[in-house]
Amino acid sequence: PTQHPEVEKPDVDVTSWEFILANSEHNIGTYAPAQTVSIEGTAQYFDSRAIDALLSFLQGARDAGFSPYIMTSYINYSSQEYIFNGRASQIAWGGTYTYEQAVEIARTVTFYPGTSDHQTGLAVDITDKWYNSLSSANVDEDLLEWLREHCAEYGFILRYPSLKESVTGWDEPWHFRYVGTTAAEYIMERGLCLEEFLELYE
């Protein structure tokens, strides 16, 4: 058979739930996963269809000698709206900016409602303990490296790699997203981001 000149890509159905894309170009509105469950009895929740993969991922990190902590997981639309409006109000407070200007500035530091990967129920921020605010400076670099190197084995990808900030708009070395092992291995081996992967199927 003749080889198609197009890129060899995995045989996955990108219209399936695990490939839902939330970003500034794709607002998913008030989408909510069919069912979420608590992560190990905590106040953090995750899509029930992918919880086993997440628990295996966390256990893998523990077996490697780390103490992974879920900083953030599922954030529903109204919670994201509350977070975003709070940030915009903070920026507008004091009168330097109008509220409209504050909203535009807020979009650069926090996700606009409907555009957060956390709203999919498939994303987690994994750190080594609770932090008041996240920055690479305060998260254990060895843990982040382990997570990056092994996430695909559990069906996860690094959602916002440093080198893809021009595409995704964000650089978050602690933010992992479930897409299933087939897609995850392909994405991580090739150094892609989710946007670039999904474009292969357009």
CA 123/CA 125 separation, integer angstroms:
7
Tokens of 127: 């750190």
CA 51/CA 104 separation, integer angstroms:
35
Cite the active site residues. Answer: 172
Helices 77-92 & 99-109 angle (0-180, nearest 10): 120
Tokens of 39: 């992560």
Tokens of 64: 């490697």
CB atoms within 10 A of CB 127: 20
Residue 32: how many CA atoms within 13 Å on its side-chain side?
12
